[in-house]
């Protein structure tokens, strides 16, 4: 079965990237003969390690949470990383490593989810198999939606309800047919599908999971809350955040964490909804240094500064506090509380928003220490919550999308500036470079529309 899983993923990746050569035609004939037929087969497929890779590594590399000296900049892995750091427009190269090629990795997962969903349609759901059947279907829908969202966050403009019908989305591959050509469609269709898949997933999934690589209701509702936040639908984001917290409310008490450990969460925090790490995870957190203004924003009694960061010999900080062995990028209780707090504040419930943020900070500050809170002015409360969001979710692959959405708000839009050596680089609000270009090898193969912003 392990060979079967590996073969399915290798073929799913291959169909995305190569032309119609003789070898490719032979591979297509082979994959059509390899179809999972039992629920156990499908369950194993959805538990493959590749589903732990989440995407958004390139946007993390580009965000403003890092500083670089010229030496550190030159030490980055490759030219593509260096271009991302200085916001130089460039298509994704072909790395040839599935978990680094973000487009390929996402669609290989989507393809396997489609294989599973098609297989389920040929199996009768009965009283004896319904629990496993529903879990498998909910899991496939969750992973498909997660990768559709990652692709939209990376390769599309920010969602605006006024223009989403006309802006380009991503190709919504919904069948297992490897010969099917799918165009990009609209951004509205993309987000409608993400929401639809996650809503159904949340209904089907079990209430809890004892294995951190398997998703349950809290994770589906959590990803739905993240999606609605990035659609500026604060009412729905808040509602789904509440649903997520209802099923998974565990919060790490940082007073119980070893502040000096290089691995403070022993590889995995109990706050996470599912084990999830960035695809081609950013080297910034260990090669560059955490932005000094961000470091200085932590209160003296805030334990996150000691748990998340390590002081280097130059007196600057690198990141060490991932909730998983590599940079964590999935949803967690902390993110859910931050979504809930922001949405309540935006909808006018300032007291409710501050209550949510206080619940989080009580577990991040030293026991008994005073937690500074803003005056109950909407702008001040929002500013406070957004800064806490940045401090809590550092390295999660979310900052870039936060910058994109906040660029639409005159109160929070900002021009990014990065000085490396004698050169200073800037990225103004709403700059076209906020939207990554689709890999050219994908354009050459399936002729979808390239981003031209």
Q: What is the pLDDT of residues 277-313, one digit of tens each?
A: 987 666 777 889 999 999 999 999 999 999 999 999 9
Q: Give the C-alpha separation, 282 to 177, whole Å.
A: 33
- In the prediction, which pLDDT does 12 show? 53
**pLDDT tens readout for residues 148-196:** 999 999 999 999 999 999 999 999 999 998 888 899 999 999 999 999 9
Rounded Cα distance, 253 and 256, in Å: 6
pLDDT band at 55 (very low <50, low <70, confident <90, very high): confident
Q: State yes or no: pLDDT of 19 exceeds 60.
A: no
Percent of the chain with pLDDT over 70: 91
| Buried-state track 298-330, b at ≥16 Cβ within 10 A, e below 16 | bbebbbbbbbbbeeeeeebbbbbbbbbeebbbb
Mean pLDDT of the chain: 91
Q: What is the rounded CA–CA span in Å between residue 4 and residue 296?
A: 51
Partners of 424 in the β-ladder: 419
Asked whether residue 17 carries a pLDDT value surpassing 60, the answer given is: no
Cβ 343 vs Cβ 234: under 8 Å: yes
**182: its two tokens:** 């799918």
Q: Return the pLDDT at 452.
A: 82
Highest mean pLDDT among 5-19, 83-97, 185-199: 185-199
Tell me the CA end-to-end span of the chain in Å, nearest whole number.
45
Give me the mean pLDDT over the 266-275 stretch.
89
Query: Is it the case that residue 33 has pLDDT exceeding 90?
Result: no
Interval 41-58 mean pLDDT? 92
pLDDT at 9: 53
Mean pLDDT, residues 380-392: 98
CA angle 338, 344, 349 (to 5 degrees): 140
Backbone angles phi, psi at 125, to 5 degrees: -85, 120
- State the sign of the Cα–Cα–Cα–Cα dihedral 163, 169, 174, 177: positive
Please state, in angstroms and rounded to a whole number, the distance separating the CA atoms of residues 433 and 154.
Answer: 11
Instruction: Report pLDDT for 95.
Output: 84
The pLDDT, as a whole number, for residue 15 is 46
Contacts of 341 (CB under 8 A, 6+ apart): 353, 354, 356, 357, 360, 385, 388
pLDDT for 278? 87
Answer whether residue 44 shows pLDDT above 90. yes
Query: What is the structure's pLDDT at 77?
Result: 79
What's the average model confidence in pLDDT over 375-393? 96
Q: What is the pLDDT of residues 212-243, one digit of tens each?
A: 999 999 999 999 999 999 999 999 999 999 99
Residue (of 217, 220, 230) closest to 191 by Cα position: 230
């Amino acid at each position: 079965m392990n060979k079967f899983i590996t073969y399915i993923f290798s073929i799913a990746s291959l169909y995305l990237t190569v032309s119609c050569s003789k070898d490719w035609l032979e591979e297509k004939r082979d994959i059509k003969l390899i179809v999972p037929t039992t629920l156990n087969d499908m369950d194993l497929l959805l538990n493959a390690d590749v589903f732990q890779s989440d995407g958004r590594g390139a946007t993390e590399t580009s965000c403003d949470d890092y500083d670089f000296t010229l030496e550190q900049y030159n030490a980055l892995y490759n030219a593509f990383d260096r271009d991302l750091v200085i916001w130089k427009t460039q298509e994704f190269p072909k790395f040839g490593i599935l978990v680094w090629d973000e487009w390929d990795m996402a669609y290989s997962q989507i393809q396997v989810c489609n294989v599973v969903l098609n297989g389920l349609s040929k199996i009768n759901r009965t009283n004896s198999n319904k629990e496993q059947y529903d879990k498998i279907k909910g899991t496939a829908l969750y992973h498909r939606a997660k990768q559709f969202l990652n692709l939209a966050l990376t390769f599309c403009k920010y969602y605006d309800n006024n223009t989403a019908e006309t802006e380009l989305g991503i190709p919504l591959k919904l069948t297992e047919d490897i010969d099917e050509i799918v165009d990009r469609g609209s951004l509205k269709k993309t987000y409608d599908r993400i929401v639809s898949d996650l809503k159904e997933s949340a209904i089907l999934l079990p209430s809890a999971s004892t294995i951190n690589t398997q998703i349950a209701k809290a994770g589906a509702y959590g990803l739905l809350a993240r999606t609605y936040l990035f659609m500026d639908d604060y009412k729905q984001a808040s509602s789904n955040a509440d649903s997520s917290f209802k099923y998974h409310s565990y919060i790490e008490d940082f007073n119980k964490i070893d502040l000096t450990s290089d691995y403070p969460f022993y590889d995995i925090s109990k706050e996470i909804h599912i084990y999830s790490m960035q695809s081609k995870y950013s080297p910034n957190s260990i090669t560059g240094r955490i932005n000094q203004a961000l470091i200085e924003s932590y209160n003296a009694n805030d334990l996150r500064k000691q748990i998340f960061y390590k002081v280097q010999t130059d007196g600057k900080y690198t990141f060490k506090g991932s909730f998983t062995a590599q940079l964590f990028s999935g949803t967690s209780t902390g993110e859910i509380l931050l979504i809930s707090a922001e949405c309540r504040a935006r909808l006018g419930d300032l007291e409710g928003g501050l209550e949510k943020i206080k619940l989080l900070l009580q577990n991040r500050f030293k026991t008994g220490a005073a937690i500074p809170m803003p005056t109950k002015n909407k702008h001040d409360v929002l500013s406070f919550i957004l800064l806490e969001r940045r401090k809590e979710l550092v390295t999660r692959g979310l900052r870039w999308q936060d910058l994109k959405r906040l660029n639409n708000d005159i109160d929070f839009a900002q021009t990014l500036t990065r000085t490396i050596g004698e050169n200073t680089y800037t990225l103004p609000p709403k700059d076209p470079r906020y939207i990554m270009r689709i890999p050219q090898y994908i354009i050459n193969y399936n002729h979808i529309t390239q981003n031209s912003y």
